[in-house]
Amino acid sequence: MDNTLPIEITVNGRRRALDVAVHHTLLDVIREDLELTGTKECCLVGECGACTVMVNGRIVDSCLMLAVEADGAEIVTVEGLAQNGQLNPLQQAFLDKGAVQCGFCIPGQLIAAQALLAENPHPSVDEIHEGLAGNLCRCAGYVQITEAVLSVAEGEHQGEHR
Amino acid sequence: MQTFAYESPTTLAEAVALLDAHGPDARLLAGGTDLVIRLRDGSARPGVVIDVKRIAELCPAIREHDGTVTIGATTVMTDVAANELLRRHFPALAEAAAVVGSVQIRNRATIAGNVCNASPAADTAPPLLVYGAVVVAVGLQGTRRIPISEFFVRSGVTTLERNELLVAMELPVPVSRTGAVHMRRTRRRGHDLASVTLCCSVDEKGMTRLAYGSVGPRPVLYVDESGVLADPAATDEAKAPIFERMFADASPSKRSMRASPEYRLAMLRVLGSRAVRTAIERLASLRSVEA
């Protein structure tokens, strides 16, 4: 038995109509069906944040959401951050501050940071720590990650890389 | 993950009929932050998953009517934490919602899921007990209002009937001026389950309500009407026997890996007296703001 249902989602601005298995998570569909492998699979229990994507403007662990639940939703993955081949300010800041070590957690970190800045454009260091508390970095690059987010919040990277 | 049938009813009647037809083979899905983990690890193997998020009566909403604030079942923690009405009348509930999981979890986890999952460590349970919340449940027999103090049985078990689902949570707006606080102890800062989760309120008539979780099979409420705990001038000797009675029902599991029973009991006492102090301070600052 392999139940499927049709869903329609918008991923990084592009509308997609798919038949998904009801027991597949949004993460499964993003990686396997849409072949957008920037979003990472890791702990599968909602602790590490590697699978973070934005659903209707809010970040979620895509490993804890069934794909069928996303029917009608607007989704942004890490592939949706760069525009016209240009990294967005946050991505550039992560590179400039050396926030990317092994890189595995970075897609999730970027999406979480993007959501944080959208809601709170000038967060304090504590607010950045809280906003990214659901994203673990095994390389322990937290200092550089925080610096990168802060530099965008303070305008260091605004507009330079547009 | 083993497959299942997925139902997404849009009316309450449809949802109740599905629950009735499938009995224990059905599981309700709200935010999924607990259920999807269990579907994946095989500890839950329902034939039918009923997604309740498209049912109008359960929609995320927080409204006040006639001295009662009603929270729709599928309201997520992020919205409970940020809501102005809740922050004004039930600040300790907003505080508790703000420390559940991470941003990602709070954007999905619902108030109904937090109580129906009936984890002893549920952070919203102590404030809901302290504020005297009422669970509104709908089933085949109609609507039932269950005081939250009669709702929790043990981990994963509540007094909901098999064909009932939680529709909303009702909170009576306190009639007396009340200072309240939620506190918890975790292994690490950031994103962790509570080793002790606790809420205390003190009102201007001298009533202290204290509820705690993660130190036994279910969260517990204790009410002190003697006025001693609420009295900022009361001595530690006067308060000690009340705290003893208050914490007599704590029986932390020896099997939990989060903290030893000894540590939890010690921290329960520390957090308990700290929370009483903070609630008294908050009550006093409310008085001075209104004076």
| Chain B partners within 8 Å of A133 (Cβ) | 102-103, 189-191
Tell me the per-residue pLDDT of B105-130, one tens digit each, with 9 for 90 and over.
999 999 999 999 999 999 999 999 99
Nearest CB to A112 within list B4, B32, B103: B103
The verdict on A96 and A127 lying in the same domain is: yes
Spatial distance between the Cα atoms of A44 and B194, rounded to a whole number of angstroms: 20
Spatial distance between the Cα atoms of B282 and B288, rounded to a whole number of angstroms: 10
> Is there a domain that residue A61 lies in?
yes
The verdict on A71 and A125 lying in the same domain is: no
Q: How far is A131 from chain B (nearest CA, A)?
A: 6
Domain final residue pick, A26, A49, A80: A80
**Which chain B residues have any C-beta within 8 angstroms of a chain A C-beta?**
1-6, 8, 29, 32-33, 36-37, 39-40, 49, 51, 53, 78, 101-105, 107-108, 189-191
The verdict on A74 and A116 lying in the same domain is: no
> Is there a domain that residue A133 lies in?
yes
Domain interval for residue A27: 4-80
Q: How far is A65 from chain B (nearest CA, A)?
A: 6
Q: Do A22 and B6 touch (CB under 8 A)?
A: yes
How many C-beta atoms lie closer than 10 Å to residue B168's C-beta? 24
Q: Count up the domains in chain A and report the number.
A: 2
| Chain B partners within 8 Å of A24 (Cβ) | 1
Residue of chain A with shortest Cα separation from B2? A23
The verdict on A70 and A97 lying in the same domain is: no
> Is there a domain that residue A158 lies in?
no
Residue of chain A with shortest Cα separation from B193? A47
Domain final residue pick, A46, A80, A114: A80
**Domains of chain B: residue spans and CATH:** 5-51 (3.30.43.10), 59-172 (3.30.465.10), 178-290 (3.30.390.50)
Q: Do B108 and A112 touch (CB under 8 A)?
A: no
**What pLDDT score does A154 carry?**
87
Give the ipTM of the model, two decimals please: 0.95
Residues 6+ apart with CB under 8 A from B12: B55, B56, B57, B58, B138, B165, B167
Domain final residue pick, A63, A80, A97: A80
Confidence of residue A158 (pLDDT cuts 50, 70, 90): low
| Chain A partners within 8 Å of B53 (Cβ) | 69
B183 touches B198 (CB < 8 A): yes
Tell me the per-residue pLDDT of A45-90, one tens digit each, with 9 for 90 and over.
999 999 999 999 999 999 999 999 999 999 999 999 999 999 999 9
Strands (E), chain A: 4-11, 14-21, 52-55, 58-61, 74-76
Q: Stretch B251-263: mean pLDDT, rounded?
A: 88
